[in-house]
Each structure stands twice: as structure tokens, then as C-alpha cells.
Structure 1
Amino acid sequence: MTHRRASPAAASLYTPNGQRKYLTPGERARFVAAAANWPPTIETLCLTLVWTGCRISEALDLTRADLDAEDGIVAVRCLKKRRPGIVREVPVPSAFLDSLLRVHQPGKPQERLWGIARNTGWRYVKDVMQDAGIVGVAASPKGLRHGFGVHALRSGVPLNLLQRWLGHADIATTAIYANAVGAEEREIAARMW
């Protein structure tokens, strides 16, 4: 049996039965607050997903050498592309990067920051989601990635820049984040009422 990838046109921020796949701003804030109650290594994993929009496998592949405090970026190696060596640089808040560097003390530059398996990292994220009271399809690492995309566009990040940060080959894939209803759209709609 061969598996076919969904085309970018088929990508959506909602399941076929209409469930939202991304975290709202309020849910993201609750997730960040809940993560602060966990051990620092788990908190930094959670915040890495929030602030970079990377896939959980990409986060777990990060090393200290991927953290650039001087330029305020995290260099994420794309693990989904068919060829190795594709890296995207994502700017992150300096307080987060400082925390990441502090928690993950100097060791071997190429040593992974967390050293845990993907299913363990997934479980940690799901546990923090539960603590934050977030349920449903969006309560996952993928929900954080989608939440990053929606938040970036709502914050005025250009689509082509978001495409680069998320590592999408096709801008049509990135364009799905523009489909989420934002505050500006609600304000315009409110004028009709």
C-alpha cells in the first residue's frame, strides 16, 4: 500500500468534522504558564515548541551548537525534507534563549539538549496540555506548531518569512494560517451588526 501526501490545498487548520487544530492565544498563554510548573528541562522543551514552531522531532534534535545567543536565533535542522543539511534560522525572544542556555549547561556542542525519545517528548507536551486544561485535537505538539503559524500571521509576520521559519517548501501550505479568523476580521464583521 502506498501512502500519498495531502496536497497543500487539502491542508487545513480544522479536522473534517470542524475541530480546530491550533492553539488560541489564550491556550498558548495557559500552556506557557503550565509549563513553568514542570522541571526546567521539560519547560524548555515546551517553550521551544511555542517560540520556534518546529516539529517535536526537530526540537528533540537540537544541540547547544544550534543556539545563537548573539543573533537571538535557534537553527532548526529540517528533518522532514528528503535531503539533509536544510537549516532554518528562527528568531526567538532573548529571555527564552537565555533560559534555554542556562538550563542546558555547556556540554559537548553536538550533544542533544534533551536526549529523550520522540514519544517521551510527546507525552510531556500532552501532560502539560492537560495541566493547562487544553483538550481536543489542538492539545498536541502539532497544535503548538499551528498556533505558532496563526500567531505569527496575526502579529503581522509576512507569509514568505513564516514559510521560511516553518520550513514549508510550498507557500500554499503556509497560506492555511491566513484562514484563521483574527481580531481584525472580527472587527470588520462587527461593523455589519
Structure 2
Amino acid sequence: MSEMRLHDPAGNRLYLNAEERAAFLAAARRQPARDRTLCETLHFTGCRPSELIEITPARVDLSGGAIAIRSLKKRRDASGRAKLVYRTVPVPPDYLDTLNTAHGIREAQRSRKQAQASIWPLSRVRVWQIVTRIMIEAGIPDAPQRSPKGLRHGFGINAAVNGIPLHMLQKWLGHAQLSTTAIYADATGKEEQDIAARMWG
């Protein structure tokens, strides 16, 4: 398995910085409901596109303010059998209000069949296309960070900059090892300056 990195071999950033994340979110909020909520979910949960398309109304906790996401990286129990692993990620209430209004989450939860249906019945490729198109509209340069992976890494960087404990970020991102999550504590550029500024103040 290749080691996760925040920069490519040429030193190019692989994550969206704070300015790019804000521009992406603003552009997403100008889109039709399906694309807006899809992008907001990736932005606020840090989930992978393959995980996003598995989210159902049953996994949205409107009163608890969280979304349960199934981690799709293979995990094994003590006997070596594959096991299902879910993680719960807290999300902003205004985002949940938008999600509920756009997709009728509360209503769908009353029907077992509707509650188990994907909110975004799309392929991973289609999700990638939607996200990339909106990133272009947001003015994010044609560089390695302009991708859903760049959005996920941006979520991790943002959490680290804002002092989220690594063990909590590990849970939110669905990493099996804390050492994987620790790359976000090695933030660089403006993000590193923001962390260092705590010593200067």
C-alpha cells in the first residue's frame, strides 16, 4: 500500500486550502439541489465519493446532527473475516436543514424502502465529474488538488488547523491507523502559519 501524502513528488499541494474550500462551497451553493448537497456532504464529512453514494436517509441523524458513513476500506476481525465499519461524523445544522429540504430525509425515514435507498444514486465517476466541474467554476486552478481527494485532504487539514484532536479526526475520516491521520498534523504553507501563530499571539 502506498503511503498517503499531502504533496506530490514535485512538491505540488494535494489538498484544497482554506480559500479554495470556501470558494468551492460558495460555488456548490449556486448549484441545483442534488449537486449542492452532494458537494456539501463531501465538504462537511470528508468522506470518499464511494462512501457518499452509499449514504441513505436512514444514516442521517437529523436530531443528533450527524451522518453515519460506512468505511469502504476492507477491515478484518480477529478471525480474518471482513467486517462492516461505520463512523459517525458531526455536521452543521444548516447543512442538515438543506439536505432534509432537498431530499425529504425525514419523510423518507418513515418508509423502510425509501430509508435504505441511496440519496445520490450515482457512480463514483459521475460524482468525480460533478465535483471537478464545480471546482472549475470556483476558480480552483488546474492542479493536483482539484479533485475529490483534494477536498478530503482539505477537510483533514482544516480539522488539524482548528485543533481537532487526531484521534477524533481519525474516526471522522475512517482511518484504521492513527499514523495515517497524523499527516494532517504536518500541514504546510498558510495552514502551518496558522498553527504557528498560536505561539506568536
Larger CA deviation: 17-26 vs 180-189: 180-189
Write 1 or 2 for the structure with the bigger share of strand: 2
CA contact (8 A) 2:161 2:195 kept: no
TM-score for the superposition, normalised by structure 1: 0.90
Return structure 1 stretches of 4+ with deviation > 4 angstroms. 188-191
The one of 178, 185, 188 equivalent to 1:178 is 185
3-state SS of 2:67 partner: strand
- Deviation per CA, 1:49-100: give whole Å up to 9, x if none: 0000000110111000010011100000011124342100000001101111
For the pair 1:76 / 2:69, whether they are aligned, the reply is: yes
Give me the TM-score of the superposition, normalised by structure 2.
0.87
- The aligned residue for residue 167 of structure 1 is 174
Aligned to 1:137: 144
The CA RMSD measured in Å over matched residues stands at 1.7
Pairing partner for 2:197 from 163, 187, 191: 187
Gaps of 5+ in 2: 76-81, 109-113
Q: Which residue of 2 aligns with 1:94?
A: 93
- In the alignment, structure 1 segments of 5+ residues that lack a partner are none
Separation in 2, partners of 1:20, 1:98: 33
Q: Tell me, yes or no, if structure 1 residue 45 matches structure 2 residue 38.
A: yes
Task: Tell me the percent identity.
Answer: 44
Residue among 51, 57, 65 paired with 1:64: 57
CA deviation profile, 1:15-58 (whole Å, cap 9, x unmatched): 01111011111000000011112111101000100000000110
Distance 2:116 2:88 in 1: 17
Q: Give me the whole-angstrom Cα distance separating, in 1, the residues matched to 2:6 and 2:48.
A: 16
- The CA distance in 2 between the partners of 1:58 and 1:12, in whole Å, is 21
Residue correspondences, number = 184
